[in-house]
Chains A and B, each alone.
Chain A
């Protein structure tokens, strides 16, 4: 794995397919629905994948997709409608506006940006819950986003794989 993945150093990627994006979102939702033992330590995979596509494909994935994913998350978890909708929309907006900057950093530099974004989304969602009458659950809620940020290099490698495949290998090519 090449750690310096800035545009200057990266290979030319193939255009992304819509199916890749859809499947990645479905898998992220699935991971969120797995029966985890301790919810606080598990990163929000949907937010992470959303962050990834907003940074990599700001023209394809944006606020609309974020909002719909947020509603699906809300319904799946049985929380207030719009709680994750709002959090993901704000997250997508922040990721879109950072998208030109983030990719110039190394993967761990990008992860640092992503940590900020994920903590921000978690904070929005916590704020909404507290406005609706819940108690502050303690600072452990930032652990999940931080673990999510640690996963960033792996997520990047994994989700870029479909775009790295050669279309057709030309055996007779000179170089």
Chain B
């Protein structure tokens, strides 16, 4: 008969067996997540479990801000107030002109038979923390599916686009920043209407226009706005300014580096725009596939961009 230790010495399976079990489980999850994205359910359940910790973690900075606010000097406040009033005046003037201009533009669009612009609804949100991942540029914001945030919604701050919601949990959601290596955004040069796709350049915090011909008409200081032709980003949001154009005869494409307009990696408060998919008719066959693989498979996207 085989010898077994008495039950009170039993410690369960050997460590190596346990390691094999958990390693296999992890690898299976990795493959399921990276290849098929089957783990979203499990992810949203676990996200609820971490949510209290995420909110707690954002408390210290909030507290610091409040204490700082308490000790701010009156003269400083008055200066700030005057400044804000001046800015409000300018902004309200712009807003009045915008109203009439929009009415006019809508009228004209109706005349030429084009669809109306998307109406924008925005949800303000606070950035809870940066994703702790040196390989990607992500932030977590404190609004989720319960507040109407959907995966794919564009996220902006006061001066331009900062990114896109890539995963919406119930109470929080993940935003991939424009500077992420795998993030792409369709843009248009304000000066001449040239269309392009801007990709994140990763660690440098800049954007790149890839696959622009070496003789493309683009120069330093050109402003880029969203073109709106993808149906995800509304048209006309500021994205970036061209910072450097390198044209090398040895390559077919120019190397164009742009500085994001918004404080992509700074700032705390953002607006999540509600996008309404289906307003813009996409080509029938591969439109859903393209949408799904936007953030995941940059290579296929690059192929699309060259076409």
Taking Cβ atoms with an 8 Å cutoff, the residues of A that contact B are 26, 29-30, 32-36, 39-40, 42, 59, 62-64, 66-67, 70-73, 75-83, 85-86, 89-90, 93, 96-97, 128-129, 132, 134-135, 137, 141
Contact = CB atoms under 8 A, between A and B. Distances in A.
B30 A80 contact: yes
Contacts of A36: 129-130, 132
B213 interface: no
Given A89-B19, A89-B22, A82 B53 contact: no
Nearest to A84: B26
B19 A63 contact: yes
A85 B140 CA distance: 20
Contacts of A77: 131-133, 138
Given A75-B46, A78-B136, 7 more contacts: A40-B134, A76-B47, A78-B140, A78-B167, A80-B33, A134-B136, A141-B134
Contacts of B47: 75-76
A167 B141 CA distance: 45
Contact of B23 (A39, A75, A90): A90
B174 A90 contact: no
B203 A137 contact: yes
A90 B181 CA distance: 29
B291 interface: no
Contact of B15 (A97, A128, A137): A97
A96 B22 contact: no
A137 B202 CA distance: 10
B32 interface: yes
Contacts of B174: 78
A34 B140 CA distance: 11
A128 B27 CA distance: 9
A90 B19 contact: yes
B134 A76 contact: no
A75 to B, nearest CB: 4
A75 B181 CA distance: 20
A29 B50 contact: yes
B34 A80 contact: yes
Contacts of A32: 132
B135 A134 contact: yes
Q: Main secondary structure on chain A at its contact with chain B? A: helix
Interface of B: 11, 15-16, 18-19, 21-23, 25-30, 32-34, 39, 42-43, 46-47, 49-50, 53-54, 56-58, 60-61, 127-136, 138, 140, 166-167, 174, 181, 202-203
B61 A35 contact: yes
Residue from B22, B32, B174 having most chain A Cβ neighbours under 10 A: B22
B178 to A, nearest CB: 16
A84 B26 CA distance: 9
Given A67-B25, A76-B53, A137-B203, A93 B15 contact: yes
Contacts of B129: 33-36
B130 A35 contact: yes
Given A30-B53, A134-B135, A85 B25 contact: yes
16 contacts: A26-B53, A32-B132, A33-B53, A64-B18, A67-B22, A71-B46, A73-B132, A76-B132, A76-B140, A82-B27, A85-B22, A85-B29, A86-B22, A89-B22, A129-B133, A135-B181
Nearest to A134: B135
A59 B11 CA distance: 8
Contacts of A29: 50, 53
Given A63-B15, A70-B26, A78 B130 contact: no
Contacts of A89: 19, 22-23, 26
Contact of B33 (A62, A66, A73, A82): A82
A83 B28 CA distance: 11
Contact of B50 (A76, A96, A132): A76
